[in-house]
Structure 1
Amino acid sequence: MNWGTFYAVISGVNRHSTGIGRIWLSVIFIFRILVLVVAAESVWGDEKTGFTCNTQQPGCNSVCYDQFFPVSHIRLWALQLILVSTPALLVAMHVAHRRHIDKKVLKRTGRSNPKEVELIKNQKFQITGALWWTYMISIIFRIIFEVAFLYIFYLIYPGFKMVRLVKCDSYPCPNTVDCFVSRPTEKTIFTVFMLAVSGVCVLLNLAEVAYLIGRACKRRGDQAAENISKESHGLLSQQTWLTIFTIIFVIPEENSNHC
């Protein structure tokens, strides 16, 4: 799989993300994609050929390997990265739709010159309104996928530790045979590292959710305060004009009647 192309696609959302979102994307690329491509794939490159059992019975090695390693770590992590990263495309689709609408408006108003189109193309959208909801939904999906894969990984490989020796008695093995795993310590280290980074990504996503909710609440509070200020200013203006009207017209009339 071409991870460079995959990163180029999801990095298009980077300019419309929060600061925490940009950190999350950097963690995805540096500590997950690069580690998976540069190191982990080479460590697990001989996972099946290096899995040997002390028997010559045909098919025993393959059956025992499938029993203890039903899904390859590399393929599981690759699928996890794809599913965790694709919700970011929701934001990209939303932004593309907004730009398409803006271009339509320009064409209707007769201002579709190259300069205006370029400004729309490079426009950075604020995370408010419908885009806020799209962004929030994408983060929630990322959290769900991360947690789901951590749970699946725990079900398949409880303890997250790569053992050196496993005992297998599945057919067609003649009896209980000993099977040896290649590079168990190295694989354990990479497994713990990848799972720890996945946990960090979950924390970053939760922090971004809290940040977005806090910023939305602050924006609503500021807007409410501004509305109250405008109402107070309007009432004050009405009272001021009423006082001026009273001084100019009502009081002199009362004085003349009194005389």
Structure 2
Amino acid sequence: MDWKFLQGLLSGVNKYSTAFGRIWLSVVFVFRVLVFVVAAERVWSDDQGNFDCNTRQPGCTNICYDHFFPISHIRLWALQLIFVTCPSFMVVLHVAYREERERKYRAKHGENTRLYDNPGQKHGGLWWTYLMSLFIKTTFEITFLYLLHYVYDSFRLPRKVQCDVSPCPNLVDCYIARPTEKTIFTYFMVGASVLCVVLNICEIFYLIATRMVNLRHRGSIRTSSRKIHPGLDYDGCKSSLPS
């Protein structure tokens, strides 16, 4: 998988992120993508080849491996990284849509006119898009953590598992290669995922709090404007209502 391509796309998201969003992006690259590419893939590279069962029955080892590992940790984490990073592209696409509207508006009304003060500023529809992307990312993170725990019944890999699935002749013992090392990496990846969830929740509260402060400030300006100019609204235009 070309993680450099994903990194290039996410780098554009960094321009429109808050401080929490930039920390989240750093955690994703350093503690998840980098660890995944450099170390985790190698740890699980020979998991099926070194999965050993004390039987010579043809097909028993493969069936037992599929029974206990219906989906590889590596593939599950790869899907998780893709799903939790893709919602960020919603913000980039929304900003690109605003920039295109700005270009058409200037072409029609002149270069000195502006439709947006800053196309990347998080207000209006872009604010909702950004907030929605955070909720989607958080939902994906929690869903994949639940799937990992549900599929393997724990984040800890046992040294020995027992299998009696056909065509195994009876209850056989199977041994997982390097279970301690794999357990350490599993806990590390789970911890990084939980940290990303915490950062997303903090950013959600930050966005909502900032929006409430801005709305209150805007309401104060409107009230002050009406007190000073009873016949004008807060934008300085004549009010249609009688004074």
Please report the TM-score for the alignment, with normalisation by the length of structure 1. 0.85
Q: Which residue of 2 aligns with 1:29?
A: 29
Q: Which residue of 1 aligns with 2:137?
A: 142
Structure 1 residue 124, shift from structure 2 partner: 6.1
Q: Which structure has more helix as a fraction of its residues?
A: 1
Alignment check: 8 A CA contact 1:15 1:124 kept: no
Letter paired with 1:34: L
The match for 2:160 among 161, 165, 186 is 165
Partner-residue secondary structure (3-state), 2:229: helix
Q: Which residue of 2 aligns with 1:190?
A: 185
Structure 1 residue 148, shift from structure 2 partner: 0.7
Gaps of 5+ in 1: 236-259
Q: Which residue of 2 aligns with 1:177?
A: 172
Give the Cα separation in 2 of the matches to 1:163 and 1:4. 34
Q: Which residue of 1 aligns with 2:234?
A: none
Q: Which residue of 2 aligns with 1:203?
A: 198
Structure 1 residue 111, shift from structure 2 partner: 3.4
Write the deviation string for residues 126-169 of structure 1: whole angstroms up to 9, x where unpaired: 11111000000000000110111111111101221111111111
Q: Which residue of 2 aligns with 1:58?
A: 58
Structure 1 residue 109, shift from structure 2 partner: 3.0
Q: 1:136 to 1:110 in 2, by over 3 A?
A: same
Q: How does 1:226-241 map to 2 (within 5 A)?
A: 226-235=221-230
Gaps of 5+ in 2: 231-243
Give the Cα separation in 2 of the matches to 1:159 and 1:174. 28
Write the deviation string for residues 41-73 of structure 1: whole angstroms up to 9, x where unpaired: 000000100101111111011000000010100
> How large is the RMSD of aligned CA atoms in angstroms?
1.9
Q: Whose radius of gyration is greater, 1 or 2?
A: 1
Alignment check: 8 A CA contact 1:16 1:124 kept: no
Letter paired with 1:87: P
Letter paired with 1:104: K
Please report the TM-score for the alignment, with normalisation by the length of structure 2. 0.90
Give the Cα separation in 2 of the matches to 1:110 and 1:223. 30
Give the Cα separation in 2 of the matches to 1:8 and 1:124. 21
Find out whether 1:101 has 2:101 as its counterpart.
yes
Identical amino acids, percent of aligned pairs: 48
Partner-residue secondary structure (3-state), 2:174: strand
Q: Which residue of 1 aligns with 2:214?
A: 219
